């Protein structure tokens, strides 16, 4: 699994993620719009999905902390893809919040 930032602007980040399970490798690209201190909206650009959209939600707890959650809605474009890479995508989605929080700690401490 890898992630590559294709484009980065003040409010928009376009990125590609590669999923792999055995010999099966699939990638998808999203356009991510930032709303600072509130959310980041995710929209599918290209990939093996019929539908992929979601958002990172940041809920302030106090001046120094926030709750981070990830909401995703997705549907693979075929049953074969769902069977081949579905479990990998579910694992990626399950670990993304933890990875996000670890990276935030590296950048900002605490």
Domains of the chain: total: 1
Q: Hey, how many other C-beta atoms are within 10 angstroms of the C-beta on 52?
A: 20
Q: What is the pTM of this model?
A: 0.81
Task: Tell me the average pLDDT across 75-98.
Answer: 84
Has residue 73 got a pLDDT over 90?
yes
DSSP state of 9: -
pLDDT band at 108 (very low <50, low <70, confident <90, very high): confident
Identify the domain containing residue 18 by its residue range. Answer: 2-108
Has residue 1 got a pLDDT over 70?
no
| CATH assignment of the domain containing 22 | 3.30.530.20
Task: Tell me the average pLDDT across 11-40.
Answer: 90
Please indicate whether residue 11 or residue 109 has the higher confidence score (pLDDT): 11
pLDDT of residue 34: 97
Q: Tally the C-alpha atoms within 13 A of residue 75's C-alpha that lie toward its C-beta.
A: 3
């Amino acid at each position: 699994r890898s992630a590559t930032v294709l484009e980065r602007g003040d409010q928009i980040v376009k990125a590609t993620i590669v999923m792999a399970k055995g010999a099966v490798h699939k990638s998808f690209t999203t356009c991510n719009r930032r709303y600072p201190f509130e959310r980041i909206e995710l929209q599918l650009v290209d990939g093996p999905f019929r539908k992929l959209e979601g958002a990172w939600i940041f809920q302030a707890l106090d001046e120094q902390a926030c709750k981070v959650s990830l909401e995703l809605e997705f549907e693979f474009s075929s049953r074969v893809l769902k069977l081949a890479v579905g479990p990998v995508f579910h694992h990626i989605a399950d670990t993304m919040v933890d990875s996000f929080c670890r990276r935030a700690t590296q950048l900002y401490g605490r």
